[in-house]
Amino acid sequence: MKNLLEKLYQNSNASDDELLYILDNLDSNSEKMLFALALKARKKNYGDAVYMRGLVEFTNICSQNCLYCGIRRDNKDAERYRLNKDEILSCCDEGYNLGYRTFVLQGGEDSWYNDEIMANIVTSIKKQWPDAAVTLSLGERSYESYEILFKAGADRYLLRHETASPELYAKLHPGMNFDSRVECLYSLKEIGYQVGAGFMVGLPGQSNADLVRDLRFLKTLEPEMVGIGPFIPHKKTPLGESEGGTVEKTLVMLALTRLLLPQALLPSTTALGTMDPLGREKALGVGANVVMPNLSPTEYRTKYELYENKICTGDEATHCRRCIEKRINSAGFRADMGRGDHVSHLKDTPQGIDNN
Ligand code: SAH
């Protein structure tokens, strides 16, 4: 096991069998070693910087029906909302004044935001704050649509692959299929976005072999960003009574991802903070290097409930900014308010990643 982990660190790769062996046989000693190597890889590539992204959850209206998600179409109890352009811009304004140089606009798949409306929002943000990056997370759209939004100025796109096991994917996503998801991710890459994939840990029926498929998928796609979080059941969904993922397994998957993609931007997710008060700090200690504090207006926060008991739903943006910075410092890292581009995209951003 020790040799395997060392080799994984050295080569940034391992075979599927080796990855499965690691997942099946980790004990507390080898887990410690895995975490230490992941931290070493992160320090080598990004030092002690943690990049801050301001998150605007701008719509919880969704045409999809993902079995795990609290804002799925069939959840009739979800109170729906939609932010207009002015409301989104005012979130960004507050974020910019707090020092954020990346805005992440995330929402359900809401066709009200057609290409014209969405491109106009992106252009307006970029016009007002040309030194800020815009990340979109709007689900699956056509190639043309992704292209229009890129030309409007969007820099990055987050679209988790959710699970790289096609059968599990099909069970969890009625009316959707894994191939289309993958096609979207490759289109985004081709167009020139910095792309974020990612998956949930602890989905019902998910085995270690499935998780190896997630890792292999990531290693092949080579996304710039990878979002990994525990699955947390939501009562108003068909998976409400399921078990959910654990913090420990999520940390293991984060650490393995750091070793396979040493230069990736890996968020320490809110879902981890929801399961464990120190979950986000723990993630930073095993290779995560991004946090995404919320900029959404407080009156809508509770309504963007992907899973239950989501933390920080009552907190003002200023509070979140300070709270997260304290957590970053307490974990031994430093908040970096720069754009925080992936190293391979730094040529596009002369101001660099580190504004210190
Ligand atoms: N519509 C966008 C954004 C989805 S919400 C898209 O399709 O990409 C962002 C992420 O939240 C999802 O990709 C999913 O991985 C995660 N998520 C949704 N429900 C969850 C749950 N119950 N537990 C943990 N994570 C969840």
Pocket lining: 307 vs ligand 1, CB cutoff 6 Å: yes
Domain count, the chain: 1
Report the nearest-CA residue for atom 7 of ligand 1: 139
Is 353 part of a structural domain of the chain? Answer: no
- Percentage with pLDDT > 90 across the chain: 96
Answer yes or no: are the C-beta atoms of 233 and 271 closer than 8 Å: no
Is 177 part of a structural domain of the chain? Answer: yes
Is 295 part of a structural domain of the chain? Answer: yes
CA 347 / ligand 1 centre spacing (Å): 31
281 has pLDDT over 50: yes
Is 145 part of a structural domain of the chain? Answer: yes
What number does the ligand 1 atom closest to the CA of 307 have?
22
Q: Which residues constitute the domain of residue 162?
A: 2-344
Both tokens of 236, joined, read 């108003």
pLDDT for res 348: 54
The CATH number covering residue 58 comes to 3.20.20.70
Is 251 part of a structural domain of the chain? Answer: yes
Is 340 part of a structural domain of the chain? Answer: yes
0.85 exceeded by pTM:
yes
Banded pLDDT at 354 (limits 50, 70, 90): very low
| pLDDT tens column, 169-222 | 999 999 999 999 999 999 999 999 999 999 999 999 999 999 999 999 999 999
- DSSP helix/strand/coil, 175: coil
- Mean per-residue pLDDT, 305-322: 92
- DSSP helix/strand/coil, 226: strand
Burial (CB count <10 Å: 0-12, 13-18, 19+), residue 157: buried
Strands (E), the chain: 49-52, 54-59, 102-107, 133-137, 156-158, 194-201, 225-230, 290-291, 334-336
pLDDT for res 346: 81
Is 349 part of a structural domain of the chain? Answer: no
| pLDDT tens column, 13-56 | 999 999 999 999 999 999 999 999 999 999 999 999 999 999 99
pLDDT for res 6: 98
351 has pLDDT over 50: no
| pLDDT tens column, 98-131 | 999 999 999 999 999 999 999 999 999 999 999 9
CA 34 / ligand 1 centre spacing (Å): 27
Instruction: Spell out the alpha helix ranges (H) of 47-142.
Output: 85-97, 115-128
pLDDT for res 347: 59
Closest CA to 107 of 128, 130, 84, 90: 84
